[in-house]
Chains A and B, each alone.
Chain A
Amino acid sequence: MKACVIVFPGSNCDRDMQVALRNAMGSEPIMVWHGDSSFDDVDLITVPGGFSYGDYLRAGAMAAKSPVMREIIARANKGVPVLGVCNGFQILTESGLLPGALMRNADLKYVCKDIHLTVETTDTPFTQGYGNGGVIRIPVAHHDGNYFAEDSLLDELEGENRVAFRYANADGAHSDDANPNGSRRNIAGIFNKQRNVLGMMPHPERLADPTLGGVDGKPMFEGLVEALS
């Protein structure tokens, strides 16, 4: 598998994503600078977390208009898998690759902590590593992760099996107190219609190493390598 990590000037999880991909692939992902409007053919494009252009306005709004995003949109439309994590998810919604919006967290505070997720669907390259689904523990770290969409869209996402992850408690119940940001229907990550674009607020790349306190992020990367190699 060949993969790349998109680097905006304010990306700060680019190295974390690079390490997680390297460990799963056994080779180096390509780091692509935001100003580049073309880059090598790859099997997977990742848009990492951070503060792309400072995000003093709406998170991801400026990045969505960057040269590199035009190329990513074109490739995504051709079916190339794209993974956006945290700020990457925000950029994907701002660019229209994913529907809905990410609003300020309901309690208006930045939140960084481990949370539990239910894996809602496993028949995609991104989530096949999770076998039969179940509950996983990985962290969130964001100020604007409150996923919003109208009921009709939420119904459509659910009807088409496009919800990837939901916030849950350790037993898998989708309770309000397990939701760190107030997102609708506890949604933590969604797919596009073609299921080749995944956006998610939690960080699988941050818990893919036992020294860091967990490995529940690892199956995502291993599953991607298996599916795309």
Chain B
Amino acid sequence: MSDQTSKITPEVVKSHGLSEEEYEKVLEIMGREPNMTELGIFSVMWSEHCSYKSSKKWLKTLPTEAPWVICGPGENAGIIDIGDGQAAIFKMESHNHPSYIEPYQGAATGVGGILRDVFTMGARPVANLNALRFGNPDHPKTRHLVSGVVSGVGGYGNCVGVPTVGGECEFHDSYNGNNLVNAMTVGIADTDKIFYSAATGAGNPIVYVGSKTGRDGIHGATMASTEFSEDAEEKRPTVQVGDPFTEKLLIEACLELMDTDCIVGIQDMGAAGLTSSGFEMASKGGVGVELNLDQVPQREENMTPYEMMLSESQERMLMVLKPGTEDTARAIFEKWELDFAVVGQLTESGHMVLTHKGEIVADLPIDPLALASPEYDRPWVPTPKANEIDAASIPVPGDMIGTLKALLSCPNMASKRWIWEQYDHMVMGDTMGIGRPGGDAALVRVHGTDKALAMTSDCTPRYCFADPVEGGRQVVAETWRNLTATGATPMAVTDNMNFGNPEKPEIMGQFVGCIEGMKEACLALDFPVVSGNVSLYNETNGQAILPTPTIGAVGLLEDASRAIGMGFVADGESIVIIGETKGHLGASLYLREIEGREEGSPPPVDLKTERLNGDFVREQILSGQISACHDVSDGGLLITIAEMALAGNTGCAVNSPENTSTLHAWAFGEDQARYIITTSEADALISSAKAAGVSATIIGSVGGDDFVLSGHGKMSVAELHEEHENWLPAYMAGNP
């Protein structure tokens, strides 16, 4: 396949994932038949993964601007201003396909890739998060995948020394053949030391640093742009192998170089490796590129141009330096014992010209290839409206405490301690005690300051499946609530859109719907999208995953000491619910786990109320009126209160409503825009709420060793703890 002189047959074109129309366009751009190397380059550059050809049209509609946004989508990561000359740089990215084929390396290199996206812009990575979704726990592959992915995420992040502070993990049949691994990194940089990828200045040297190039990961981007069939495991050679120690060296060396004045542009070599980084840098800077492939550090002998250009070997960066600074830069990389090679220079030709052993092996025009990549308006159909579920038609369980136990120990709600205790979540010495994993949002102090960043990731795929627009609104609203519940001001989001095959109109309809809902919520909540990633073709044998637009979100606390956690803090305090409880059971966890029914419309999201309630809660937290806060989401009100009891290791008494015919809807309904808070000044808080037009009601009090639901029994917090903690360790030990 790598022979320069191989004939380009229709089969070869097809095996490179290019359609007939796309190949026609290749011929038009080239004015001749491409050789194998050139075809390979077109193939990866125009893959769904690199070109966003199915999603571009819709992504453009998302709001991306705000006064505090320094850089929105289009660069390696998004950047927001966090004051005092500092910026937070962050992005979330998927590594779904590789993590299914080879869970340890797939997940590890997912973490490595997203770290590079952040430090390539000049930021020191300060936190990692990950959103994981696996198939049914009873599926024979699930345990193996959970074990491999968690070890891989930990193995990489722990060694690099960036704390993994938060995330989520869910299970559902639809992920049986396609698990999701979405990794997010947050970094901090000085606003006057941010680096971009544009390459400028003809004659400037192009420098390759980091690990050597090997034959791993060839065609990874193309692999990630197709569905799986039974032969998924045969694609293992397309998965890269991670080396976190080299990544650590690369972080330190790059940040050290960034402190000098040597760099014109810098970009990591991610998907489609040298090809993609070379094209993107040149295209953004409007220049041409000349690369001498003989200078590329190589791990294996006799690598062909095709292999070098398409390799996805990890821990590599491409930089354009200011002329005459090569020696300064080289000394830094030598100190860190990393490869450093001048591999070419910028030109004014507008072409990428590759030479190998004295011969030109590829000559491609940059702009037509990079900017004129295909963009499709794929046909789509709106998702039919789901039926409304009348709570009164569903029997009320006889044993409310037993039902609470069942929900709290179901795979989705059970504690994920088994996972996050395998991640170093404290290294770097800034993970706040109340912001460790398990809460609404992680809290990480900005090193050497009194500020803190709050960060979270979330998605409710069952809502997105039932109603993509409502689900899209909800996912943004929920991350906004997660941040608000700590006292942080939500700043911006990164989106990681995981969907099935976009060539199917109903899947494309899910995508379009989710984007519409996300757009509305981002606008209403002043919560712009600053970076993101799209992963399509998450299907196996025609079975698509639930639509999963994962949102990673970042908020700011000007004064970290004002932040609060979700655990109960003091006996005798009142428990107050903010927001109205109507008892929406459609698409709820209760309906799925207790009644075995996955149906119904999801709870409607009223964005005005979200904003009103959230702004009120945040204001009360910052003025010291609230001692603990937790947003109400999966599982509803009783689950939320139980989680607060668990986090605080303290009991409580909850008043149940008089109307018992919809007791389950009250207890487990998933109405939006709600928070549970505790306060010692309930009267004052409720009158402030009334003045603000916010619904606030006392529903219980903190104290004792038991979780008590008036008139319906009780359970000790110790037993609650056991129910909540036991499922995952037992499952992983093989005793479900």
Interface of A toward B, CB cutoff 8 Å: 9-10, 12-13, 15-16, 19-20, 49-51, 53-56, 109-113, 139, 141, 143, 203, 205-206, 209-214
Contact = CB atoms under 8 A, between A and B. Distances in A.
A204 B349 CA distance: 59
Given A51-B159, A113-B421, A13 B427 contact: yes
B429 A19 contact: yes
Contacts of A12: 159-161, 248, 427-428
Contacts of A143: 158
Interface stretch (B30-38, B197-205, B206-214, B432-440): B432-440
A55 B431 CA distance: 25
A42 to B, nearest CB: 22
Given A141-B158, A214-B433, A15 B428 contact: yes
B561 A211 contact: yes
A205 B430 CA distance: 12
Given A51-B244, A211-B433, 16 more contacts: A9-B248, A20-B429, A50-B161, A53-B245, A54-B243, A54-B244, A55-B245, A110-B158, A110-B422, A110-B423, A206-B427, A209-B429, A211-B432, A212-B430, A213-B436, A214-B433
Contacts of A15: 428-429
A54 B337 CA distance: 13
B462 interface: no
Using C-beta atoms within 8 Å of the partner chain, give the interface range for chain B. Answer: 35 or more
A213 B422 contact: no
A50 B426 CA distance: 12
Interface in B543-577: 560-561
Given A9-B248, A54-B159, A212 B432 contact: yes
A112 B425 contact: yes
Contacts of A213: 432-434, 436
Interface centre among A113, A203, A206, A211 (most CB of B within 10 A): A211
14 contacts: A10-B159, A12-B248, A16-B427, A50-B161, A109-B422, A110-B154, A112-B422, A112-B423, A203-B426, A206-B429, A211-B445, A211-B560, A212-B430, A213-B434
B339 to A, nearest CB: 15
Given A110-B422, A113-B421, A211-B560, A51 B429 contact: no
Contact of B427 (A55, A56, A141): A141
B424 A141 contact: yes
A9 B427 contact: no
A212 to B, nearest CB: 5
Contact of A54 (B154, B245, B425): B245
Given A110-B424, A112-B426, A13 B433 contact: no
A53 B428 CA distance: 18
Interface of B: 151, 154-155, 158-161, 243-246, 248-249, 252, 336-337, 420-434, 436, 445, 560-561
Nearest to A52: B245
Contacts of A139: 426
A48 B420 CA distance: 23
A29 to B, nearest CB: 14
A154 B560 CA distance: 45
Nearest to B253: A9
A13 B162 CA distance: 10
A16 B248 CA distance: 16
Contacts of B421: 111-113
A143 B158 CA distance: 10
Contacts of B423: 110, 112
B245 A10 contact: yes
B252 to A, nearest CB: 8
A9 B336 contact: yes
A50 B427 CA distance: 9
Nearest to A18: B429
Nearest to B243: A54
A55 B422 CA distance: 17
Contacts of A112: 158, 420-426
Given A112-B422, A112-B424, A16 B429 contact: yes
B428 A16 contact: yes
A9 B337 contact: yes
Contacts of A13: 161, 427
A205 B426 CA distance: 11
A206 B427 CA distance: 8
Contacts of B429: 15-16, 19-20, 205-206, 209, 212
B420 to A, nearest CB: 8
A19 B445 CA distance: 14
A46 B259 CA distance: 27
A208 to B, nearest CB: 9
Contacts of A10: 159, 161, 245, 248-249
Contacts of B159: 10, 12, 51, 54-55
Contacts of B561: 211
A87 B240 CA distance: 28
Contacts of A56: 245
A13 B161 CA distance: 8
A79 B126 CA distance: 38
A186 B146 CA distance: 30
A199 to B, nearest CB: 19
Nearest to B450: A211
Nearest to A33: B335
Interface centre among B160, B245, B249 (most CB of A within 10 A): B245
Interface centre among A110, A203, A205 (most CB of B within 10 A): A110
A35 B429 CA distance: 26
A81 B436 CA distance: 33
Contacts of B249: 9-10
Contacts of B160: 12
Contacts of B245: 9-10, 51, 53-56
Contacts of B244: 51, 54
Contacts of A206: 426-427, 429
A50 B245 CA distance: 10
B93 to A, nearest CB: 22
Contacts of A203: 426
A51 B160 CA distance: 8
B337 A141 contact: no
Nearest to A205: B429
A110 B252 CA distance: 24
Contacts of A214: 433
B248 A51 contact: yes
A62 to B, nearest CB: 11
Contacts of B155: 110
Nearest to B158: A110
Contacts of A211: 432-433, 445, 560-561
A203 B425 CA distance: 13
A44 to B, nearest CB: 19
B365 to A, nearest CB: 42
Nearest to B161: A12
A218 B423 CA distance: 24
A89 B432 CA distance: 26
B245 to A, nearest CB: 3
A16 B430 CA distance: 9
A172 to B, nearest CB: 19
Contacts of A109: 151, 422
Contacts of A54: 159, 243-246
A133 to B, nearest CB: 24
Nearest to A108: B151
B654 to A, nearest CB: 28
Given A19-B429, A213-B432, A111 B158 contact: no
Contacts of A205: 429
A20 B422 CA distance: 24
B557 to A, nearest CB: 12
A12 B336 CA distance: 15
